[in-house]
Chains A and B, each alone.
Chain A
Amino acid sequence: MRRAGLMLLIFMVLLPAWRANAAADGAWMASVPAKDHERTNPYQGQADAVSAGQNIFEEHCAKCHGANAEGTKKRPPLKSERVQQQATPGDLHWLLVNGNMKKGMPSWAKLPDPQIWQVISFLKSMHE
């Protein structure tokens, strides 16, 4: 009985993670709530924020996404049309806070909000 209970507990813990992992390629942008989609970058147009964002990108993002955000073998480029044109700053903020864990993108909620916006300033500056 105890063993069955333990198995049930393990199953309940692992099920949501397994289901998320097994999910088909998600268009994460479709998951962004409208109020997050509309959010604007408080650092927009600030050169200092772009520099700061570049430093943060080099420390935390470049190893997976490439030094120039060109992507690596297993991780997507961030110069893509989706990131540069389709996604709003609010979409990118939502993605960085929540991650896309089923696809291997961790949550970056450990970074303070201003630093997340600074990274977004840098990413968007590559298109400008």
Chain B
Amino acid sequence: MKTSCSTLIGFLLLLTTVAFAQERPYFVTYSHEMEEPGNLDIEMFNAVGQPPGANLFLGSNVEFEYGVKAWWTSEFYLDGQSTQNDSTIFTGFRWENRIRPLMREHWINPVVYVEFEDTSADKALREVVGHDGVPDFQQRNAEARLDKEREMELKLILGSNYRGWNISENIISEKNLSNEPWEFGYAWAVSRPLRLAASAHKCNFCAERFQSGVEMYGGLGDRYSFGTSRTSHYIGPTVNWTAANGTTLSFSPQFGLNDFSILHLYRFGISYEIEQFLSYFHRGGDR
């Protein structure tokens, strides 16, 4: 067990040192912007929190996001978590595809998101649906792992860009492939670079390299109990910084809005984009 824990931590730390990219400063919300075709984005996102009556946890996922076409992005996730006074475990994987049905930019741009996930004891909080809340974090890992979640998730992503602002809304539905009802959730976020025009000189800490905004997300119950009763909701400011070499660091303190939510969450991420990834494998490819 100790070996697998240290392997997981070592793997995550290694990725932290090499992984970077330019992204919106969102942790849960997807924008309509797709990965550029041929680019591979390696990302690591983390959530730290301490639910009442439970141990401090760190939920993480490593993501490999590839632009298959200009209108199609595919992404593979590996999830893990570490809980104080408990254990560090690999919690599963996810595979998602995003397809943009409209080929041009409009006032509101829809993207269809389809995901399959096979996880258990997940604490990465990549989305909140149904009646997800504090009780899910109070179980010990050994117990939580018994609850396998093989789920199909569908999202309608709506995004707009207006005068430098990005406004994104996600409508989420999720179905456990065992006999459980459809669950629903939402996420929205707004962000803007601190300056819209780029500087004439190369710089790492110019205002246009920082983006800030607000993100909010939560559950909306399930098919039989739709609404906000016994659901958790979070909101928080969010910021990121993109270095000239493509390194992006993101951070967001987030606040639970009711007793069913974890009071404080701290989210941070790092990403790196490898441009034209497959060209590294072509003979005579332009590296």
Chain A residues within CB distance 8 Å of chain B: 13-14, 16-17, 20-21, 47-49, 51-53, 55-56, 59, 63-64, 66, 72-73, 97-102, 104-107, 109-110, 112-115, 118
Contact = CB atoms under 8 A, between A and B. Distances in A.
Interface in B74-92: none
B112 interface: yes
A16 B102 contact: yes
Given A13-B101, A16-B103, A104 B70 contact: yes
B37 interface: yes
Given A13-B99, A73-B286, A98 B198 contact: no
Given A102-B103, A115-B196, A20 B71 contact: yes
Contact of B198 (A63, A66, A115): A115
Given A109-B33, A112-B193, A112-B196, A17 B100 contact: yes
A53 to B, nearest CB: 8
A110 B23 CA distance: 9
B70 A101 contact: yes
A63 B103 contact: no
Contacts of B198: 52-53, 55-56, 114-115, 118
Given A21-B69, A55-B202, A110 B33 contact: yes
Given A17-B71, A63-B275, A106 B37 contact: yes
Given A13-B112, A63-B275, A52 B197 contact: yes
A106 B36 contact: yes
Interface string B18-43: 00000010000001011011100000
14 contacts: A13-B99, A16-B103, A17-B72, A20-B103, A21-B69, A48-B200, A55-B201, A55-B202, A99-B105, A101-B69, A106-B34, A106-B37, A115-B197, A118-B197
A107 B276 contact: no
The 7 A-B residue pairs whose C-beta atoms are closest, nearest first, are A114-B197, A101-B70, A112-B196, A63-B275, A48-B200, A51-B200, A52-B198
B103 A113 contact: no
B103 A101 contact: yes
A124 B226 CA distance: 55
A97 B106 CA distance: 10
B99 A17 contact: yes
Nearest to A50: B200
B244 A113 contact: no
Contact of B70 (A13, A14, A52, A106): A106
A56 B246 CA distance: 12
A107 B70 contact: yes
B50 to A, nearest CB: 35
B248 to A, nearest CB: 12
Q: Which residue, of B161, B196, B198, B201, has the highest number of chain A Cβ atoms within 10 A?
A: B198
B108 to A, nearest CB: 12
A87 B197 CA distance: 23
B202 A105 contact: no
Contacts of A107: 33-34, 70, 104-105
B164 interface: yes
Contact of A98 (B101, B104, B193, B208): B104
A14 B69 CA distance: 13
B70 A113 contact: no
B119 to A, nearest CB: 23
A14 B99 contact: yes
A115 B67 CA distance: 23
Contacts of B100: 17, 101
Contacts of A55: 198-202
A13 B72 CA distance: 11
B223 to A, nearest CB: 15
